[in-house]
Structure 1
Amino acid sequence: MDSIGVLGLGRMGLPVALRFVAAGYPVCVFDPDTNRVRFAESHGAVAVAGEYEVASRSDILVTVLPGPPELRSAMLGPGQAVTGLEAGACWIDLTSNDPRVATEVAAAVTAVGALSLGAPMAGGPADAAAGTLRFYIGGSEDALARAAPVLEALGDPSNRVETGADIASGYVTKLLANTLWFGQVAAVTEALLLGQALRLDLETLRGALETSAGGSHFMTHHLDALLRGDYMESFGIDRIVEELDTVTDLAAATETPAGVTGMVATLHREASDRFGPVDGELLVAKLLEQRAGQLLRAKLPRPITGGGTSAPQYESGQPES
């Protein structure tokens, strides 16, 4: 059985590592957060001193890091994990990565005789813990064949999307899927706010839109969270901005029109500026609610006075930030 090394024990990395342990793999781990490392140790993983050490002890190196800067630093920067890989090893990257960074790292991995597979995840910590993750997979047939048994510990093979032989393809696919999600959050929020301002019943409007040609997965599966005042603290708004900036950069580099994406990116950047680098996938909706001076809570709010350009004055008991 292959030995597995996991770099990154964050919200997703820790349950991923524990899934490997539960599947019977020998697992070594590293993360700067010693509390998380100790937790992984208490469940059967072996802690090592750094990124290089994880790579040098692993047949399969799995990276589950917050984003492109952390991934590049761990693999090519001070961490130097790439230099620890043995010829014939395989690197599987589960990070929501910039495809350009992934391509750069994959070239270095190839240079030491190892395989690379990009497999950014769709799903949250609960999916990781349950082994029900979805993957957007980019890489060679050899890399996928080597990685497949390991990925089966995290998700059913039928739930994979194989996007092409280029390692960048999986990241691009996931970035585009996320871009549509982020845009739908903003568009649906604006539509509901306008309907509510025009005195439409919010639940009736929601039902009509959900079953219309403009319906979406967001409306069907996640709009309830917003209507409960839950802004989905499962992903950082700063990371959303980072992903949208990557998409707009790729569009500019390929001279592809991306005006709508640019507007979505601007809205999310304004939400990040307003609330700070905190978790909240729906914080752009909160920003729009504040600008409209009303909340989407399945019933019409009382009119809010004190117009002009000042910050909205919410009714008693309603949050201002």
Structure 2
Amino acid sequence: MLDSRLPKIGFIGVGRMGLPMCANLARAGHRVHASDVRPEREKDVVAAGALWAASAAEAAAGAEVLVTMLPGPEEVRAVMLAPGDALEALAAGATWIDMTSNSPALVAPIREQAERRGVRVLEAPVGGGVPAARAGTLHLFVGGPADLLARHRPLLDVLGDPERIIHLGGPGTGYTAKLLANLLWFGQAIATAEALLLGRRAGIDLAVLREALGSSAASSTFVRRDLDALFAGDYLESFGLDRCCEELETVTAMADELGVPFELSHLVERTYQRALDRYGAVDGELLAIALLEEQAGLRLRP
């Protein structure tokens, strides 16, 4: 049931992550106007309890809060800065919350333009994947003014686990923290796969090796949880390999610009880039491991 006390929301990007997030907001009583570049998404938006907007500008018009949940930086730039599009449609006093895994450098000029128009900006890229999006238990990496986060905390609590909505600091910090979280996960995936391939080649049963590693100082969320998918032959097709490479390129470029030694992370980036060259821009966060398996002539299956 709609709650007139809640802010009107424009929501742009109703893909695998965005659609369940949109549904949760509508279920909580928000009047949500949702848009996507794919008009065929209309029926799913209506089924989720939201109203369909034929364009990003239509979704933003009259919205007190605009949420963007898009594949990456270029899509955000296109939606927000195209003539007559979302940013121009937002009224002064509105808030733009970008929940995309984004580049701090590319968003900075968009944020500055928004603020000149009287639109306040909060970044809250998410972690947790589609299951967490459906359950409303996403991990939010928030950057921006603390008072703005406090103002919109009830809205964000609908989408994320309240105990995992973390304020990192000012503009850019939320994006950076999310990139670093993904960087470490990609790195753990590569390192774990290499260790398991060697262990199997040396004659150790993979299930036993996983148990040994999971109870050792080498344990990680990847070992304890994400190996289930890999052992089942699932390379996690909820995210594109090209997007993995895009994020890794963004974070390694940031390290180079700031003069931070980043040799291991550059190696992770190159491994994912080789996987992209091999398999193309297909879905699969763990396809870099498929490449290692192919090179070793082994499959990591218990």
Calculate the TM-score normalised by the size of structure 2: 0.95
The reply to whether residue 249 of structure 1 matches residue 253 of structure 2 is yes
Match of 1:313 in 2: none
Give the match's secondary structure for 2:160: coil
Given that residues 102 and 118 in structure 1 are in contact (C-alpha distance below 8 angstroms), is that contact kept between their aligned partners in structure 2? Answer: no
Match of 1:65 in 2: 70
Cα distance in 2, alignment partners of residues 79 and 22 from structure 1: 30
Q: Which runs of 4+ in 1 moved over 3 A?
A: none
What 5-or-longer segments of structure 1 have no aligned partner?
Answer: 299-321
Q: How does 1:120-131 map to 2 (within 5 A)?
A: 120-131=125-136
Cα distance in 2, alignment partners of residues 259 and 79 from structure 1: 43
Given that residues 4 and 27 in structure 1 are in contact (C-alpha distance below 8 angstroms), is that contact kept between their aligned partners in structure 2? Answer: yes
Match of 1:40 in 2: 45
Give the superposition deviation at 1:151. 0.7
Q: Deviations over 1:21-50 (max 9, x none)?
A: 111111101111122122212333222231
Given that residues 96 and 121 in structure 1 are in contact (C-alpha distance below 8 angstroms), is that contact kept between their aligned partners in structure 2? Answer: yes
Give the match's secondary structure for 1:156: strand
More deviation, 71-80/31-40: 71-80
More deviation, 29-38/55-64: 29-38
Give the superposition deviation at 1:79. 6.0
Change (3 A) 1:78 1:70: farther
Q: Point out the structure with max Rg over C-alpha.
A: 1
Alpha-carbon RMSD across the aligned residues, in angstroms, is 1.3
Cα distance in 1, alignment partners of residues 295 and 120 from structure 2: 49
Give the match's secondary structure for 1:222: helix
Q: How does 1:194-213 map to 2 (within 5 A)?
A: 194-213=198-217
The reply to whether residue 223 of structure 1 matches residue 259 of structure 2 is no
Q: How does 1:1-321 map to 2 (within 5 A)?
A: 1-78=6-83, 80-164=85-169, 166-298=170-302
Given that residues 186 and 264 in structure 1 are in contact (C-alpha distance below 8 angstroms), is that contact kept between their aligned partners in structure 2? Answer: yes
Cα distance in 2, alignment partners of residues 54 and 174 from structure 1: 26
Cα distance in 1, alignment partners of residues 131 and 216 from structure 2: 31
Give the match's secondary structure for 1:153: helix
Identity in percent:
46
Calculate the TM-score normalised by the size of structure 1: 0.89
Matched length: 297
Given that residues 50 and 79 in structure 1 are in contact (C-alpha distance below 8 angstroms), is that contact kept between their aligned partners in structure 2? Answer: no
Change (3 A) 1:11 1:264: same
Amino acid corresponding to residue 74 of structure 2 in structure 1: P
What 5-or-longer segments of structure 2 have no aligned partner?
Answer: 1-5
Q: Deviations over 1:28-73 (max 9, x none)?
A: 0111112212221233322223122221220000000000000011
Given that residues 9 and 37 in structure 1 are in contact (C-alpha distance below 8 angstroms), is that contact kept between their aligned partners in structure 2? Answer: no
Given that residues 102 and 175 in structure 2 are in contact (C-alpha distance below 8 angstroms), is that contact kept between their aligned partners in structure 1? Answer: yes
Give the match's secondary structure for 1:163: strand
Amino acid corresponding to residue 136 of structure 1 in structure 2: F
Cα distance in 2, alignment partners of residues 269 and 111 from structure 1: 38
Give the superposition deviation at 1:94. 0.6
Change (3 A) 1:79 1:11: farther
Give the match's secondary structure for 2:159: coil
Give the match's secondary structure for 1:159: strand
Give the match's secondary structure for 1:234: coil
Give the superposition deviation at 1:146. 2.5
